[in-house]
C-alpha cells in the first residue's frame, strides 16, 4: 500500500508539472516540491496506517523520460545553433562596419590628398607665373636700357655730324656741291659713317649746337674743296 500510495502521489505530481517548466529553467522549483511531504499525501497516509511516520523526503536524482530528454537535447542543440548563428551575424556585422569605416576613411584621405595636391599645383603655377613675370620685367628693363644707351649714342653722333655740317654752312660753303665732290665726301665720310640716323635716312629738324669749329684753311682748286678742321 505504501508503494501504491507513492506511485499515485507521483502521478498526481506529474500531472501538475509540464515539460515547458523543466525546459524553461524551473527545475529548482520542481525539485523543491519533490522533497516536500505535502507532495506525497497518499504515501504518508499508507505509512501511518502501517505504523510508520515519515518525517522528510530526500531527492537523490532527477532524470527525464526518453521523450522529454530528446526534446531537451533538441532544444539545447537548437539553442546552441541559434547562438552560433547570432554570433556569426554579429561578427559579420562588425566586419561590415569595419570595412565601411575603412572605406569612409580612405575616401576622406583620398579627398584630402587630392586637395593638397591641387593646392601644391596651384602654388607652383603661381610661383612659376611670378618667376616668368619677373624674368620678363628684367628683360624689358634691360632692353629699355639698351635702347636708351643706343639713343644717347645716336644723339651724340648726330650732334657731331650736324655741328660739322652747320659750321660748313655758316662758312658759306655750298653744301650740295660739297657733298657731291670727292674731297668733301672724303673729309666727311668718317663722321657720316658714325651717324646711324643719317645712314637710315632720318632727318632731325631742330638741334642745339655746342662747341666751336676752327677752320684754319679753305682752299678751292679745280672745283675741289679741301678742308682742314678741328672741333673743341
* pTM exceeding 0.75: no
Domain ranges of the chain: 2-62, 157-231
Residue 231, pLDDT > 50, answer: no
Reduced 3-state DSSP string for the chain: CHHHHHHHHHHHHHHHCCHHHHHCCCHHHHHHHHCCHHHCHHHHHHHHHCCCCCCCCCCCCCCCCHHHHHHHHHHHHHHHHHHHHHHHHHHHHHHHHHHHHHHHHHHHHHHHHHHHHHHHHHHHHHHHHHHHHHHHHHHHHHHHHHHHHHHHHHHHHHHHHHHHHHHHHHCCCCHHHHHHCHHHHHHHHHHHCCCHHHHCCCCCCCCCCCCCEEEEEEEEECCEEEEEEEEC
Taking CA atoms, 231 is separated from 1, 48, 156, 161, in Å, by 170, 170, 14, 11
Higher pLDDT, 25 or 153: 153
Mean pLDDT over 69-83 rounds to 82
pLDDT at 67: 76
Q: What is the mean pLDDT of residues 129-150?
A: 88
* pLDDT at position 232 over 50: no
Which pLDDT tens digit goes with each residue over 101-132? 999 999 988 998 888 889 998 988 888 888 88
Q: Within a 10 A sphere around the Cβ of 19, how many other Cβ atoms? A: 14
CA 229 – CA 232 distance, rounded (Å): 10
pLDDT band at 214 (very low <50, low <70, confident <90, very high): very low
Amino acid at each position: 500500500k505504501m508503494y501504491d500510495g507513492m506511485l499515485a502521489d507521483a502521478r498526481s505530481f506529474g500531472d501538475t508539472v509540464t515539460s515547458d517548466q523543466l525546459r524553461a529553467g524551473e527545475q529548482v522549483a520542481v525539485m523543491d516540491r519533490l522533497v516536500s511531504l505535502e507532495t506525497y499525501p497518499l504515501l504518508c497516509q499508507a505509512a501511518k496506517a502501517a505504523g510508520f511516520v515519515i518525517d522528510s523526503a530526500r531527492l537523490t536524482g532527477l532524470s527525464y523520460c526518453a521523450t522529454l530528454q530528446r526534446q531537451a537535447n533538441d532544444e539545447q542543440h537548437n539553442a546552441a545553433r541559434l547562438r552560433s548563428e547570432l554570433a556569426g551575424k554579429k561578427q559579420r556585422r562588425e566586419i561590415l562596419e569595419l570595412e565601411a569605416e575603412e572605406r569612409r576613411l580612405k575616401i576622406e584621405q583620398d579627398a584630402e590628398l587630392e586637395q593638397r595636391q591641387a593646392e601644391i599645383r596651384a602654388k607652383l603655377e603661381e610661383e612659376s607665373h611670378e618667376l616668368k613675370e619677373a624674368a620678363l620685367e628684367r628683360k624689358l628693363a634691360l632692353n629699355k636700357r639698351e635702347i636708351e644707351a643706343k639713343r644717347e649714342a645716336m644723339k651724340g653722333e648726330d650732334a657731331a655730324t650736324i655741328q660739322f655740317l652747320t659750321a660748313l654752312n655758316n662758312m658759306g660753303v655750298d653744301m650740295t656741291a660739297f657733298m657731291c665732290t670727292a674731297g668733301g665726301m672724303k673729309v666727311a665720310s668718317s663722321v657720316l659713317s658714325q651717324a646711324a640716323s643719317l645712314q637710315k635716312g632720318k632727318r632731325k629738324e631742330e638741334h642745339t649746337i655746342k662747341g666751336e669749329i676752327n677752320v684754319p684753311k679753305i682752299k678751292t682748286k679745280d672745283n675741289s674743296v679741301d678742308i682742314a678742321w678741328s672741333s673743341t
